[in-house]
Amino acid sequence: MTGRKITIIGSINMDLVTSTTQIPKVGETVLGHSFHTIPGGKGANQAVAAARLGTDVTMIGAVGNDSFGKTLVEHLTNEGINTESILKVEDNSTGIASIILWEGDNSIIVVPGANNHITPEVIGRHEDKIINSNILLVQLEIPLESVNRAVELAKKHGIRTILNPAPIQKLPKDLLEMVDFVTPNEHEQALLFASIDGTDQELEKLKEKCIVTKGSKGVLIYKNGEKIEIPSIQVEAVDTTGAGDSFNGALATALCEGLEIEEACRFANVVGAISVTKLGAQTGMPTKKEVEEFYKYINHLKWSEL
């Protein structure tokens, strides 16, 4: 079934972004370069990426009853996302991510806070949202048992699922068997395969579901045992935070539109590339119009040259 409705279940964080030219050693203080608070969280980022591309997005998540929570829900609503199912938690704070930007790369510490209140029971209450979507997209910044419950419900109703296994952790075989697509980066893929105790046949089956994002080296998929490499679009990166989230939101959108997997990955690759040209995870995510403009610009090139 094709259609344009995506349900995203995942984290909503405020990103506290510090740019610095020096990383402090233990016990040392250094002066940073700049500081910004920017809406983030893998779930929310993916929701914004898809919504800006014109997709009807429902977000299921949780925030605290605090100023970050209020700002973040307002922001998601302004992006056109259905935020009715976002829980306001009284006894925990909104999730935050401390992000250090240093030498063109980032390191992140997430404190999940309210995100941990997305329990399997909460998921169960939103079965109708899952049923009414064409794709369910999940990540791993909420409790694993809740991700599992969401995928179970989607599977029960024949809804396609994408699992973005970030941040990576050991995953149950049952979950990996249920999902339709898994979108690790290279590092996550290595840990994912190292942690699974499966037969060669099971591992081969899992590989065929994998869409591996490799940053500036492109995307790797597997088809009937063959590797297909999709090259990346070369851009000047300002901040790579949320590049994977842009890719996932765009991938879900493209699959909803009925694109075949290879073409969907090429589209998501373009969206991911545009997103890294600005500071912040959501700040750089392109609208449909911006992607169309970009396509016009690269139209004279063959995909294989991109």
Binding stretches for ligand RIB (CB under 6 A): 11, 13, 15, 40-42, 45, 97, 108, 110, 141, 241-242, 244-245, 281
The residue whose Cβ lies closest to ligand RIB is: 40
127 contact partners, CB below 8 Å, separation of at least 6: 153
Q: Which is nearer to ligand RIB, 15 or 188 (CB)?
A: 15
Pairing outcome for strands 34-40 and 13-20 = antiparallel
Smallest distance, ligand RIB to C-beta of residue 97, A: 3
Pick the catalytic residue: 15, 56, 239, 245?
245
What is the nearest approach in angstroms of ligand RIB to the Cβ of residue 22? Answer: 22
DSSP, res 170: -
Closest distance between ligand RIB and the C-beta of residue 101, in Å? 12
Provide the minimum distance between the beta carbon of 241 and ligand RIB in the complex, in angstroms, as a whole number: 5
Quick one: 44 or 153, whose CB is closer to ligand RIB?
Answer: 44
Q: In the structure encoding, which two tokens stand for residue 10, read together? A: 């995942």
Q: Beta strands 181-182 and 160-163: pairing type?
A: parallel
Q: What is the CA radius of gyration of the chain?
A: 19
- Using a 10 angstrom Cβ sphere, with 0-12 exposed, 13-18 middle and 19 or more buried, the burial of residue 174 is exposed
- Catalytic residue check, 245: yes
C-beta closer to ligand RIB: residue 113 or 130: 113
Helix 243-256 and helix 261-275: axis angle, to 10°?
140
Cβ proximity to ligand RIB: between 44 and 255 the closer is: 44
Report, as residue numbers or ranges, the catalytic residues: 245
